[in-house]
Structure 1
Amino acid sequence: MKKDPIPKVIKPMLATLVNKPFDEPGWLYEVKWDGYRAVAYCNMGKVNILSRNNKPFNEKFYPVYDALLAWGNNAVVDGEDKNFLVPEDAAALLYMANLGAIEMNPWNSTIHNPDYPDWCMIDLDPDKGNTFEQVIEMAQTVKVVLDELKIKSYPKTSGSTGIHIYIPLGAKYTYEECQLFGKIIATEVHKRLPKFTCIDRMTRNRKGKLYIDYLQNQPKATLAAPYSLRPKPGATVSMPLHWEEVKKGLQMKNFNIKNAIGRIKSEGDILKGVLGRGISLKKLI
């Protein structure tokens, strides 16, 4: 079969313009940080990265350029290099808030050790038709599994519909090792609650079951930060919990912009241990 030649120029897809932004009572907006839109032309051992205005980007994004050279395939690659804001003090957080950044969604690792996550995350994500009581039951089952392995864990509400569970790793393991560990935990929980849980990422295959998400344990994947506001009706907060609070009667609306500060003052930083020494996967094996 004859192959078409590599095109000289392809215009990147741009945002769609509308007359006015979507608006509805009870909804809030946040700033969307954009990056550089670019197209890379890889052909016959040569790479040329161009902006959407055909400006050369080879030197600006030399790590991408070098990676595409090493890749060695003939292709046109459309991509985006994103900028990430790294707040290091209260003033930076206030600056973000002033820009309308309602929620914070950090990586699982720091800029100082980006390839080694500080924690493993288990995200309990309900589908339509699931009840929050089922989410609570699944969280309790995760704790039982981890307790059997003598692993300390830390839960919090997502501020939306689910529960997040942190397992401290101490930045000692790669994302691949972290994700494999998360998969082992998720698989065991699914075995114990097969009627209403699943570990299949494809939404169409879940069939109304609660998703035990361990795949968020990968580079640049994010979840709402602890104590982060969520752009939801009532301005809910993703609130750290004592395990004793993860029981029937727990509701997402219990934690919101009006009472979050008071709770933090009374309970302290419940998730402080997440950034501690971390577990030993070798001992578990």
Structure 2
Amino acid sequence: MPGPEGERTVRVSNPDKVYFPDRGITKREVVEYYLAVAEPLLRAIGHRPTTLKRFVDGVTGEPFYQKRLPKGAPDWVRTARITFPSGRPADEVCPTEPAVLAWAANLGTLDFHPWPVRDTDTDHPDELRIDLDPQPGTDFADAVAVAGVLREVLDEAGLVGWPKTSGGRGVHVNVRIRPEWTFTEVRRAVITIGRRVTSKVPDRATIEWWKESRGERVFLDYNQACRDRTVASAWSVRGRPGATVSFPVRWDELADVDPEQFELRSVPGLLAERGDAHADMDQHPGGLETVLDWAEKDAAEGLGDLPYPPDYPKMPGEPKRVQPSRARKDT
């Protein structure tokens, strides 16, 4: 296949290996799928350090996250230097051309998990991401309803959101921003946006970190904005039996789609028919000034930071990282 510096050859080993037994989908089909969607996928993850979620034994096996360049990678697979919360650096795969997608798929990669940064500046996100995660007792329709409220809040902040299905029951909304803020500031912005959403629909949405406190509501997972936290990109095949795909949609169609309709065998045709709903995202970068002003007002009213993930180092200003029932018991 053509590359920026000449022809690339990607050998597909064991191409008839079945990755999705319920559908009979083989490794060859996964590779062919990623070549079919290479153009919009590279718009989504191109020049971004990207974690590979690898299913070397297909969806019935145990996946793992490849956070460093695998040994034996071709010299045309580019990397970007990232820094983990611990301070340790790593050179992570940074897709720049279709052959990299085929090479990764041959390694068993189904989901591509890009960082919200570009390779030119890996400390300042240019993408704010909000993961709307339905909790037990809620479903995709609930996530769609909360996404509509989120859109209103983003409009109030002067930001443009771009929705996509998660490939499961959830909804992801990406916002292009200028790369002028740190991960900590972007996370703070997501928390603040989440508070605005939950104040509007407290019975339907929550930013409670502890599962025991969420109830039957949609969780706005603010910790996905932490350094080294990622979500599956648009066009990624998810490791689910039906080979569903995280698919970009327009706001005016979000309520009418069935996320199960977007799957490996249907998406190439849908792309040819509908195009990429996120094609113009880069043309609408926004700023976090308004949201961070809201955050300052929240802090003055006693609404400060929220808990980080358990494997994260203790952060300045973070509240006690203990679930409410345990805290009550200890008291």
TM-score (norm 2): 0.61
What is the CA–CA distance in structure 1 between the aligned matches of 2:130 and 2:268, rounded to whole Å?
26
Q: Deviations over 1:9-64 (max 9, x none)?
A: xxxxxxxxxxxxxx9954455564376xxxxxxxxxxxxxxxxxxxxxxxxxxx99
Per the alignment, in what secondary structure is the counterpart of residue 95 of structure 1? helix
* Correspondence for 1:261 among 258, 264, 268: 268
Structural mapping, 1:8-157, within 5 Å: 26=22, 27-29=59-61, 30=63, 32-33=65-66, 84-157=92-165
Deviation at 1:145, TM superposition (A): 1.6
Partner of 1:210: 218
Partner of 1:181: 189
Question: Which residues of structure 2 form unaligned runs of 5+?
Answer: 1-18, 23-58, 69-82, 294-331
What is the CA–CA distance in structure 2 between the aligned matches of 1:126 and 1:83, rounded to whole Å?
34
Q: Deviations over 1:76-122 (max 9, x none)?
A: xxxx9766322221111100001111111111112321111111111
Q: 1:226 to 1:278 in 2, by over 3 A?
A: same
Deviation at 1:277, TM superposition (A): 5.3
Q: Is 1:164–2:172 an aligned residue pair? A: yes
Q: Is 2:165–2:248's contact at 8 Å kept on the other side of the alignment? A: yes
Per the alignment, in what secondary structure is the counterpart of residue 220 of structure 1? coil
Q: 1:236 to 1:154 in 2, by over 3 A?
A: same
Q: Deviations over 1:223-252 (max 9, x none)?
A: 0011110011211000001001111x4221
What is the CA–CA distance in structure 2 between the aligned matches of 1:271 and 1:172, rounded to whole Å?
22
Q: 1:258 to 1:283 in 2, by over 3 A?
A: same
Letter in 2 for 1:278: P
What is the CA–CA distance in structure 1 between the aligned matches of 2:260 and 2:99, rounded to whole Å?
28
Letter in 2 for 1:282: E
What is the CA–CA distance in structure 2 between the aligned matches of 1:24 and 1:207, rounded to whole Å?
33
Per the alignment, in what secondary structure is the counterpart of residue 113 of structure 2? coil
Per the alignment, in what secondary structure is the counterpart of residue 247 of structure 2? coil
Q: Deviations over 1:150-201 (max 9, x none)?
A: 3211000000120000111132221122112111111011011111321012
Per the alignment, in what secondary structure is the counterpart of residue 110 of structure 2? coil
Letter in 1 for 2:66: W
Question: Which residues of structure 1 form unaligned runs of 5+?
Answer: 1-22, 36-62, 68-79
Partner of 1:74: none
Partner of 1:10: none
Larger radius of gyration: 1
Count of matched residue positions in the alignment of Structure 1 and Structure 2? 222
Q: Is 2:139–2:169's contact at 8 Å kept on the other side of the alignment? A: no
TM-score (norm 1): 0.70
What is the CA–CA distance in structure 2 between the aligned matches of 1:145 and 1:163, rounded to whole Å?
16
Partner of 2:286: 279
Per the alignment, in what secondary structure is the counterpart of residue 150 of structure 2? helix
Q: 1:173 to 1:274 in 2, by over 3 A?
A: farther
Per the alignment, in what secondary structure is the counterpart of residue 111 of structure 2? coil
Partner of 1:42: none
Partner of 2:199: 191
